[in-house]
Structure 1
């Protein structure tokens, strides 16, 4: 994958998206063929495969010809034949404009959006998005110790972070336009309100579909956990967490001066201190565990993409595992 993509120029964004779509098509094509079991309410109306009867199955769906041939009770599965609507909440806060490995985190945001568009846009399905970035506040940088509390140097009162709503439309051409709009979004200083961004997927109320949240989830868990739970009441929710390895552990490289991309505050860190590195790794592990627990409690599927691994391979494995989990033992 090329260097930074979010906020790239028009020509560059077109080249990046073309390469991304080619990669995604080669690896993911065919993984989402079949029915929408688990994505839409009701059993559907189109006949599917037969399977053996299980206690609790609706006897009105008994497949009598197969039952007669096999002498074992069978029921006929049905598949939903309505189009699917997918909405994405794309977080492009300043913390996403960071990366110390193969990609920036913002690279993975667009990669994940491209993969979801490819997987869901077909047969009249529609996809839309809400994109949030920082408020563009000017902050005063200062030197601070590693353990000093952050975000106390904002010189002006908070303002509403800009949010772009891209309406859901069917067709690959419209999906490509949506991806271009995401790629051209300028990442501004500050943090998007992730809770508000997610809550926008509930307004106005929509029929049941798929909701995808792409973020690093570094905002306080209590600010976004309730909107995710609310979203999961009506929709199938997929949370794509974008992570850089330096957010999980620090290398021993001496004294570092780190800048918070969302506030501009500087932190001087002595990475040669083994106890500090251990505390950092422990705190990072607790933070990621809290994020995972909040998403699990909301009933959201959770996919973690790292900037130092093959994101496409991780995506392929995740999609295959989800398909297996949805089709194994289903009674639809």
Structure 2
């Protein structure tokens, strides 16, 4: 879906183009400029971690707030002050980040400023910018359901640009091919990789069969989940008779969108979102929500700023660590 005029908050469209297509290069340049201009303003100061892991250095303690990782509790300060405290962490100077990017058919959909696929690519660009520099490495596993693409973790701007081009040109899955988020996450476990940050970018639709694999990843890596959704993932419009096609099953059905159907759909969608949130929380993964009908880069800035504020950091870091 092309970005309509006036939707300045939407990422560029990657529906068309291949590695040699000048439109792809132009879209990636636009995306890079947007990310740099909007994110650099919140990334000044020390290398402060927003998602501290076992390899991070201990920093100052601060009061516990709802949502904090209980594994970071500072029991000595808690006992001394009689108030719960957590220990802030300063991130390692060199970080290895792995992106798991879901490119299944359910992301080839969007009803407002862009498709979810475009938003997933934009999220990958934002995370790449947030975690680059200082010798940090970044790699990716890209899955569309029938093909798994592994991009080795390397450092440098040239590698980052090449990785994003590969993600943007991932082939669309054939009709009737289901996504395999669980398989993509599982691929991070073997071969065993250096401790670092694992970022899962998906709409998390479908069966929640990835929870066990993600929990296993959390034992070695810090986690971040990026959820990309469209308004129609949550509610059906009042449009009367419609023909709907599910590209992951290949099934087409005709429906009459009644008030009862809309209510049932909204309840089922909300229930699924709650189950996804619970599954991610059980794995220790904070969630960054991106929507096709919102200013996605503002949501990224808000997420980074909130993590900084929550952990009392006077300066932002270049690594999105909780």
Aligned twin of 2:204: 217
CA–CA separation in structure 1 for the residues paired with 2:163 and 2:33: 17
Q: How does 1:12-27 map to 2 (within 5 A)?
A: 12-27=23-38
Task: Give the one of 101, 108, 112 matched to 1:101.
Answer: 112
Instruction: Give the corresponding residue for 1:121.
Output: 132
Partner residue in 2 for 1:177: 162
- 1:24 and 1:87 map into 2 onto residues whose CA distance is 19
**Aligned residue number for residue 141 of structure 1:** none
Residue 156 of structure 1: aligned partner: none
Q: CA deviation at 1:40?
A: 4.2
What aligned pairs does 1:140-289 form with structure 2 within 5 A after superposition?
A: 161-189=146-174, 190-221=177-208, 223-271=209-257, 273-289=258-274
1:16-55 mapped onto 2 (5 Å cutoff)? 16-33=27-44, 34-37=46-49, 38-42=51-55, 44=57
1:88 corresponds to which of 67, 81, 99: 99
Distance 2:104 2:278 in 1: 23
Q: For each residue in 1:131-175, what CA deviation from the matched residue of structure 2 results, as whole angstroms up to 9, or x when unmatched?
A: 0013xxxxxxxxxxxxxxxxxxxxxxxxxx210000010011110
| Larger RCO (alpha carbons 8 Å, 6+ apart) | 2
Match of 1:56 in 2: 76
Counterparts in 2 of 1:6 and 1:234: CA distance versus 1, 3 Å: farther
Question: What is the rounded CA distance, in whole Å, between the counterparts of 1:131 and 1:7 in structure 2?
Answer: 18
SS at match of 1:263: coil
CA distance in 1, matches of 2:141, 2:162: 14
Match for residue 283 of structure 2 among 298, 301, 324 = 298
CA apart distance, 1:23 = 0.6
Q: Following TM superposition, where does structure 1 have runs of at least 4 consecutive aligned residues deviating by more than 6 angstroms?
A: 48-51
**Would you say the 8 A contact 2:13–2:27 is kept in 1?**
no
CA deviations over 1:201-228 (Å, ceiling 9, x no partner):
222222321100001111301x111111
Give structure 2 stretches of 5+ with no counterpart: 1-9, 63-73, 78-87, 315-322
Q: Where in structure 1 are there 5+ consecutive unaligned residues?
A: 58-76, 135-160
| Larger Rg computed on CA atoms | 1
Question: Once the 2 structures are TM-superposed, how far is the Cα of residue 8 of structure 1 from its aligned partner?
Answer: 2.6
Note the C-alpha offset of 1:35.
Answer: 2.3
Work out the number of aligned pairs and report it: 279
Deviation at 1:262, TM superposition (A): 1.3
| Structure 1 vs Structure 2 CA RMSD | 2.5
1:56 is paired with a residue of what secondary structure?
A: helix
- Give deviations 1:272-320, integer Å, cap 9, x for gaps: x111111111111101111111101111011121111111111110111
Distance 1:109 1:39 in 2: 24
